[in-house]
A and B are shown apart, each in its own frame.
Chain A
Amino acid sequence: MEILIYIFAILSVLFAINMLIQKKMINVALSLLGCMVSIAVLFIYLYATFVGMLQLIVYAGSVMVLFLIIITLLDPFGKIKYTFTSRLWTFFVSIIGLIFGLLLYVIYGSEKKVEAINSSHFSIKALSDRLFTIYLLPFEVISILILVGIIGSIYFGKKNLTDGDEDENNA
Chain B
Amino acid sequence: MKTLLIFIPILPLIGFLLNGIFGRSFPKKLVHRIAITTTGISFLLAVITFFKFLSLDVESLVFNYFTWIKAGDFVANFGFLLDPLSMVMVLVVTGVGFLIHVYSIGYMWNDIGYNRFFAYLNLFMFSMLILVLANNYLLLFVGWEGVGLCSYLLIGFYFHKKSASDAGKKAFIVNRIGDFGFVVGLMLIFFTFRTIDFEKVFSEIVNRGYGVEAGWGVLTVIGVLLFIGATGKSAQIPLYVWLPDAMEGPTPVSALIHAATMVTAGVYMITRSNAIYSRAPHALFIVGLIGSITALFAATIGIFQRDIKRVLAYSTVSQLGYMFTALGVLAFSAGIFHLMTHAFFKALLFLGSGSVILALHHEQDMQNMGGLKKYLPITCWTMWAATLAISGIPIFAGFFSKDEILWRSYSTPVKGHMIFYILGTVAALITALYMFRLMFLTFHGKTRLPEDKLSHVHESPKSMTGVLVVLAILSTIGGFVGMPGWTKIPNIFENFLEPVFKFMPHKGIVHAVEGHSAGNELLVTLVSILVAGIGALIAYIIYLKKEVTPEKEENLGLIYKLIFNKYYVDEIYNFLVVQPIKWFSTNVLWKIVDVSIIDGIVNGYAYLTEGLSVGVSKIQNGFIRSYVGWIALGGIGILYYILINFIK
Contact = CB atoms under 8 A, between A and B. Distances in A.
A associates with B: yes
Interface of A: 83, 91-92, 95, 98-99, 102, 105-106, 109
- Closest 8 pairs between A and B when the two form their complex, measured CB to CB: A98-B636, A95-B632, A91-B629, A102-B639, A95-B633, A99-B636, A109-B647, A105-B643
Contacts of A99: 636
B636 A106 contact: no
Q: Please classify the interface of chain A as helix (H, G, I), strand (E, B), loop, or mixed, using the class held by over half of its residues.
A: helix
18 contacts: A83-B625, A91-B629, A92-B629, A95-B629, A95-B632, A95-B633, A95-B636, A98-B633, A98-B636, A98-B640, A99-B636, A102-B636, A102-B639, A102-B640, A102-B643, A106-B643, A106-B647, A109-B647
Interface residues of B, number: 9
Given A83-B625, A98-B640, 17 more contacts: A91-B629, A92-B629, A95-B629, A95-B632, A95-B633, A95-B636, A98-B633, A98-B636, A99-B636, A102-B636, A102-B639, A102-B640, A102-B643, A105-B643, A106-B643, A106-B647, A109-B647
Contacts of A95: 629, 632-633, 636
A85 to B, nearest CB: 11
A86 to B, nearest CB: 14
Contacts of A92: 629
Contacts of B636: 95, 98-99, 102
Interface string B615-639: 0000000000100010011001001
B228 to A, nearest CB: 66
B193 to A, nearest CB: 57
Nearest to B637: A98
A91 B630 CA distance: 10
A92 to B, nearest CB: 7
Contacts of B643: 102, 105-106
Interface of B: 625, 629, 632-633, 636, 639-640, 643, 647
Contacts of B639: 102
Contacts of A83: 625
Query: Which of A98, A99, A106, A109 gathers most chain B CB within 10 Å?
Result: A98
A83 B623 CA distance: 12
Contacts, number: 19
Contacts of A105: 643
Nearest to A99: B636
A92 B629 CA distance: 7
Nearest to B623: A83
A99 B640 CA distance: 9
A92 B640 CA distance: 17
A123 B579 CA distance: 91
A102 to B, nearest CB: 6
Nearest to A106: B643
Contacts of A98: 633, 636, 640
Contacts of A91: 629
A136 B636 CA distance: 32
B272 to A, nearest CB: 63
Contacts of A102: 636, 639-640, 643
B432 to A, nearest CB: 89
Query: Which of B629, B636, B643 gathers most chain A CB within 10 Å?
Result: B636
Contacts of B632: 95
Nearest to A105: B643
A54 B129 CA distance: 77
A117 B375 CA distance: 114
Contacts of B640: 98, 102
A118 to B, nearest CB: 27
A23 to B, nearest CB: 18
B625 to A, nearest CB: 8
Nearest to B633: A95
Contacts of A106: 643, 647
A52 B13 CA distance: 73
A102 B639 CA distance: 8
A91 to B, nearest CB: 6
Nearest to B643: A105
A94 to B, nearest CB: 9
B29 to A, nearest CB: 58
Nearest to A110: B647
Nearest to A96: B632
Nearest to B647: A109
A109 B647 CA distance: 8
B124 to A, nearest CB: 59
Contacts of B647: 106, 109
B120 to A, nearest CB: 55
A120 B347 CA distance: 97
A98 B637 CA distance: 9
Nearest to A92: B629
A24 B614 CA distance: 40
A105 B632 CA distance: 18
A102 B636 CA distance: 8
A109 B632 CA distance: 23
A100 to B, nearest CB: 11
Nearest to B639: A102
A83 B629 CA distance: 14
A150 to B, nearest CB: 26
Contacts of B629: 91-92, 95
Nearest to A91: B629
Nearest to A95: B632
A37 B639 CA distance: 30
Contacts of B625: 83
Nearest to B632: A95
A106 B629 CA distance: 23
